[in-house]
Amino acid sequence: MNLKLKQPIVFFDLETTGVNIAKDRIVEISILKVFPNGNKESKTWLVNPEVEIPAESTAVHGITNEKVAGEPTFKELAAKINKMITGCDLAGFNSNRFDIPLLAEELMRVGIDFDMNGRKAIDVQVIFHKKEQRTLGAGYQFYCGKELEGAHGAEADTNATYEILLAQVEKYGDIGNTVEALSEYSTHGERADFAGFILMNDDKQEIFSFGKYKGRTVEEVFVENPGYNNWIQNADFPLYTKKVLKGIKERMSAPKDTMSDADKLTALQQKFNLR
Distance (Å) of CA 252 to CA 103, 233, 234, 240, 248: 29, 17, 20, 19, 6
Please indicate, yes or no, whether residues 134 and 228 belong to a single structural domain of this protein: no
Output Rg (C-alpha) for the chain, integer angstroms. Answer: 22
Question: What φ, ψ does residue 169 adopt, rounded to 5°?
Answer: -60, -40
Please indicate, yes or no, whether residues 104 and 219 belong to a single structural domain of this protein: no
Domain, as residue range, for 209: 189-275
Please indicate, yes or no, whether residues 103 and 230 belong to a single structural domain of this protein: no
Contact at 8 Å (CB) between 90 and 8?
no
> Is 40 part of any domain?
yes
Please indicate, yes or no, whether residues 150 and 72 belong to a single structural domain of this protein: yes
Please indicate, yes or no, whether residues 121 and 206 belong to a single structural domain of this protein: no
Please indicate, yes or no, whether residues 269 and 133 belong to a single structural domain of this protein: no
Please indicate, yes or no, whether residues 169 and 199 belong to a single structural domain of this protein: no
**CA atoms 178, 183, 184, 186: torsion sign:** positive
> Is 4 part of any domain?
no
Number of domains in the chain: 2
Contact at 8 Å (CB) between 113 and 149?
no
> What stretches of the chain show up as alpha helix (H) in DSSP?
55-61, 65-68, 74-85, 100-109, 124-131, 136-144, 154-171, 179-185, 218-224, 227-233, 239-253, 261-271
Please indicate, yes or no, whether residues 37 and 119 belong to a single structural domain of this protein: yes
The CA distance from 266 to 269, in Å, is 5
> Is 1 part of any domain?
no
Please indicate, yes or no, whether residues 226 and 250 belong to a single structural domain of this protein: yes
> Is 123 part of any domain?
yes
Contact at 8 Å (CB) between 51 and 25?
yes
> Is 2 part of any domain?
no
pLDDT in tens, the chain (275 residues): 789 999 999 999 999 999 999 999 999 999 999 999 999 999 999 999 999 999 999 999 999 999 999 999 999 999 999 999 999 999 999 999 999 999 999 999 999 999 888 999 999 999 988 887 567 888 888 889 998 888 789 999 999 999 999 999 999 999 999 999 999 888 777 889 988 899 999 899 999 999 999 999 999 999 999 999 999 999 989 999 999 999 999 999 888 766 666 666 666 556 555 54
Q: Is 168 exposed, middle or buried (0-12, 13-18, 19+ CB in 10 A)?
A: buried
> Is 3 part of any domain?
no
